[in-house]
Amino acid sequence: MSRVLIIHTGGTIGMTRTERGYEPDGEYFRSAMFHMDSLKAPDIPQWDLTETEPLLDSSRMTVKEWNKIGRQIADNYDDYDGFVVLHGTDTMAYTASAMSFMFKGLNKPVILTGSQIPLCETRSDGRDNLITSLVIAGSGNVHEVCVYFGGLLLRGNRTTKYSADGMQAFVSPNYPVLATAGIEIQYNDAALAGETAEQFSFTPLDEVAIGVLKVFPGINFSLFRPMLSGVLRGVVLETFGSGNTPDDSGTLEAMAEEGRETVLVVCSQCTQGTVNMSAYEAGGALRRIGAVSGKDMTTEAAVAKLYYLFSVCRETEKIKEQIERSLAGELTE
């Protein structure tokens, strides 16, 4: 029988109602888990439960928490066949993206899941999300970091939170679904990552100063000067369509000249599709300032990739080159 380690990090799934709104409640969650009959069924892998301290609403997660979760998985890697990380939905796609870069040579599933309605409520979606994640984590079919939510298994670093209140909260707009949980769980073998011969390793991330800037009609780039002129080491620019930006009379170019060491990653405000900065003249300023293409990466993956690359590499040019390459299946080359 396979063994799965469940790591509870916080999020709606394990919250209870307080005067201040829903808050993580580890004691309630532990007791609910141990009393859930379906978790004792013979087709459920053997599981252990651990938690990170303190349990958090995922909107409060930082690089420190990513490192804590990563460390727990790395320390237990040889003792389990798979890992289920219970996590808030708000930043689940960021954590999943970060994990995909932190682990090299991953041959076991790391499934992030949570719920829109807490387990303590009658209509909670947490029960299915948890049980199906456990089954997938124990199945031996998956060798990568994924998000399981609302019947879909998605590649973690291709995932984005799409709905604030729907039960299918996540989509993977630029990569096929890895598995669909209907009566049977149907795995999409062509899309799933294969096994790797590489040795497993874990790289904690550094807390690097990076930023995200969404362009909008009328943007005055000079008001964002500190972001673009060297204070931040990396900035994800969410541009229009295929990588177009307003032309602010050369301000962008002047500031970029001051901040030559800042890595600018061009992503799109569109959920689906890819960046192609040479498609329009309006992408020209970005090309001239040496911005690199995030291609079809989600903003979440681009943010996590910047943290990762600045943690392992010092040379700006090398980082720029790696941004445009697929390191963990996060973009289409």
Q: Is 88 in the site for ligand ASP (CB under 6 A)?
A: yes
Cβ burial of 230 (10 Å; 0-12, 13-18, 19+) is: middle
Binding mask 6-45 for ligand ASP (x = CB under 6 A): ----xxx---------------------------------
Tell me whether strands 145-149 and 152-155 are parallel, antiparallel or unpaired: antiparallel
Q: Which is nearer to ligand ASP, 59 or 278 (CB)?
A: 59
137's tokens: 């984590």
Find the part of the chain contacting ligand ASP (CB under 6 A) among 55-63, 205-213, 237-245, 249-257. Answer: 55-63
Selected from 52, 58, 113, 242, the binder of ligand ASP by CB under 6 A is 58
Cβ-Cβ contacts under 8 Å for 194 (sequence gap 6 or more): 143
Contact predicate 138/156, CB 8 Å: no
Binding mask 128-167 for ligand ASP (x = CB under 6 A): ----------------------------------------
**Active-site residue flag, 18:** no
Distance in angstroms between the alpha carbons of the first and the last residue of the chain = 39
Q: How far is the CB of 61 from ligand ASP (least distance, A)?
A: 8
CA angle 80, 86, 91 (to 5 degrees): 125
CA distance 286 to 275: 12
Catalytic residue among 9, 12, 95, 262: 12
Find the part of the chain contacting ligand ASP (CB under 6 A) among 29-37, 84-92, 201-209, 299-307. Answer: 84-92
Q: Is 67 in the site for ligand ASP (CB under 6 A)?
A: no
Contact predicate 24/57, CB 8 Å: yes
Residue nearest to ligand ASP (CB): 88
Q: Where are the beta strands (DSSP E) in 150-223?
A: 152-155, 160-161, 170-171, 179-181, 185-187, 201-202, 210-214
Q: Which is nearer to ligand ASP, 94 or 101 (CB)?
A: 94
H-helix segments, the chain: 26-35, 63-76, 92-102, 126-137, 225-228, 251-258, 284-288, 299-312, 316-323
Q: Is 90 in the site for ligand ASP (CB under 6 A)?
A: yes
Q: Is 188 in the site for ligand ASP (CB under 6 A)?
A: no
Q: Is 114 in the site for ligand ASP (CB under 6 A)?
A: yes
Selected from 59, 249, 278, 332, the binder of ligand ASP by CB under 6 A is 59
Which pairs count as long-range contacts for 160-166, CB under 8 Å and 24+ apart, including other chains?
A: 160/93, 160/271, 160/298, 160/299, 160/300, 161/89, 161/90, 161/92, 161/93, 162/271, 165/116, 166/116
Q: Which is nearer to ligand ASP, 59 or 196 (CB)?
A: 59
Q: How far is the CB of 147 from ligand ASP (least distance, A)?
A: 12
Selected from 67, 89, 160, 251, the binder of ligand ASP by CB under 6 A is 89
Q: Is 116 in the site for ligand ASP (CB under 6 A)?
A: yes
The residues annotated with a catalytic role in the active site are 12
Residues that bind ligand ASP (CB under 6 A): 10-12, 57-59, 88-90, 114, 116
